Amino acid sequence: MANAGEDNSGSQFFFTLGSQLDLRNKHSTFGYVNEETIYDMLELEEALVDENDKPLYAPKMIKAELLNNPFTEIIPRIIVQEIEEVKGS
Protein backbone atom coordinates (compact mmCIF):
# COMPACT_ATOMS: atom_id res chain seq x y z
CA MET A 1 0.00 0.00 0.00
CA ALA A 2 1.26 3.44 -0.85
CA ASN A 3 0.90 5.94 1.94
CA ALA A 4 -0.07 9.47 0.88
CA GLY A 5 -0.48 10.74 4.43
CA GLU A 6 -2.52 9.99 7.52
CA ASP A 7 -5.76 8.09 6.70
CA ASN A 8 -4.96 8.33 2.99
CA SER A 9 -3.47 5.02 1.81
CA GLY A 10 -4.18 3.97 -1.75
CA SER A 11 -4.25 0.62 -3.49
CA GLN A 12 -0.69 0.87 -4.70
CA PHE A 13 2.49 -0.93 -3.88
CA PHE A 14 6.08 -0.45 -4.81
CA PHE A 15 9.26 -2.42 -5.26
CA THR A 16 12.70 -1.52 -3.99
CA LEU A 17 15.95 -2.82 -5.36
CA GLY A 18 17.65 -2.85 -1.99
CA SER A 19 17.17 -2.28 1.71
CA GLN A 20 15.24 0.91 2.50
CA LEU A 21 15.72 1.58 6.20
CA ASP A 22 13.87 4.91 5.95
CA LEU A 23 10.67 2.98 5.08
CA ARG A 24 10.86 0.78 8.19
CA ASN A 25 7.78 1.11 10.43
CA LYS A 26 6.07 3.23 7.76
CA HIS A 27 5.11 0.63 5.14
CA SER A 28 4.35 -3.09 5.21
CA THR A 29 6.57 -5.56 3.42
CA PHE A 30 4.49 -8.33 1.93
CA GLY A 31 6.51 -9.99 -0.76
CA TYR A 32 9.80 -10.43 -2.52
CA VAL A 33 11.14 -11.12 -6.00
CA ASN A 34 12.71 -14.51 -6.49
CA GLU A 35 14.57 -16.50 -9.12
CA GLU A 36 15.33 -14.88 -12.48
CA THR A 37 12.76 -12.09 -12.14
CA ILE A 38 15.32 -9.77 -10.55
CA TYR A 39 16.38 -8.88 -14.10
CA ASP A 40 12.84 -7.69 -14.80
CA MET A 41 13.09 -5.50 -11.70
CA LEU A 42 16.27 -3.92 -13.04
CA GLU A 43 14.40 -3.06 -16.26
CA LEU A 44 11.72 -1.30 -14.19
CA GLU A 45 14.44 0.91 -12.72
CA GLU A 46 15.25 2.11 -16.26
CA ALA A 47 11.65 3.11 -17.09
CA LEU A 48 10.98 6.62 -18.38
CA VAL A 49 9.50 8.86 -15.66
CA ASP A 50 8.12 12.39 -15.40
CA GLU A 51 9.41 15.19 -13.15
CA ASN A 52 7.67 13.55 -10.15
CA ASP A 53 9.27 10.13 -10.82
CA LYS A 54 5.93 8.71 -11.99
CA PRO A 55 6.36 6.23 -14.88
CA LEU A 56 5.30 7.61 -18.26
CA TYR A 57 4.14 4.14 -19.25
CA ALA A 58 2.76 2.18 -16.31
CA PRO A 59 4.36 -1.26 -16.00
CA LYS A 60 1.98 -4.18 -15.51
CA MET A 61 2.35 -7.19 -13.28
CA ILE A 62 1.23 -10.24 -15.24
CA LYS A 63 1.58 -12.93 -12.62
CA ALA A 64 1.98 -13.27 -8.87
CA GLU A 65 2.28 -16.49 -6.91
CA LEU A 66 1.38 -16.97 -3.26
CA LEU A 67 4.15 -19.00 -1.66
CA ASN A 68 2.97 -18.93 1.95
CA ASN A 69 -0.61 -18.17 2.96
CA PRO A 70 -0.69 -16.83 6.52
CA PHE A 71 -4.51 -16.75 6.47
CA THR A 72 -5.38 -20.43 6.02
CA GLU A 73 -8.59 -20.07 8.05
CA ILE A 74 -10.11 -17.63 5.52
CA ILE A 75 -12.41 -19.31 3.00
CA PRO A 76 -11.92 -17.86 -0.52
CA ARG A 77 -14.88 -16.33 -2.31
CA ILE A 78 -16.43 -18.26 -5.18
CA ILE A 79 -15.72 -16.49 -8.45
CA VAL A 80 -18.86 -15.50 -10.40
CA GLN A 81 -17.61 -17.34 -13.50
CA GLU A 82 -17.47 -20.60 -11.53
CA ILE A 83 -21.05 -20.08 -10.31
CA GLU A 84 -22.28 -19.47 -13.88
CA GLU A 85 -20.52 -22.64 -15.06
CA VAL A 86 -22.31 -24.66 -12.38
CA LYS A 87 -25.69 -23.19 -13.40
CA GLY A 88 -25.05 -24.08 -17.05
CA SER A 89 -24.25 -27.74 -16.25
* pLDDT for 41: 79
Beta bridge partners of 55: 49
The whole-angstrom separation of Cα 33 and Cα 17 is 10
Report, as an integer, the average pLDDT of 22-43: 76
Give residue 50's pLDDT band: very low, low, confident or very high (50, 70, 90): very high
Average pLDDT over residues 38-52: 85
What does the pLDDT read at residue 51?
94
The mean of the pLDDT values for the chain is 75
Q: What is the pLDDT of residue 56?
A: 92
Domains of the chain listed by start with CATH number: 1-88 (2.40.100.10)
Mean pLDDT, to the nearest integer, of 74-78? 75
pLDDT at 89: 60
CA dihedral 51, 55, 45, 21 (to 10 degrees): 70
Answer yes or no: pTM beyond 0.75. no
What pairs with residue 36 in β-bridges? none
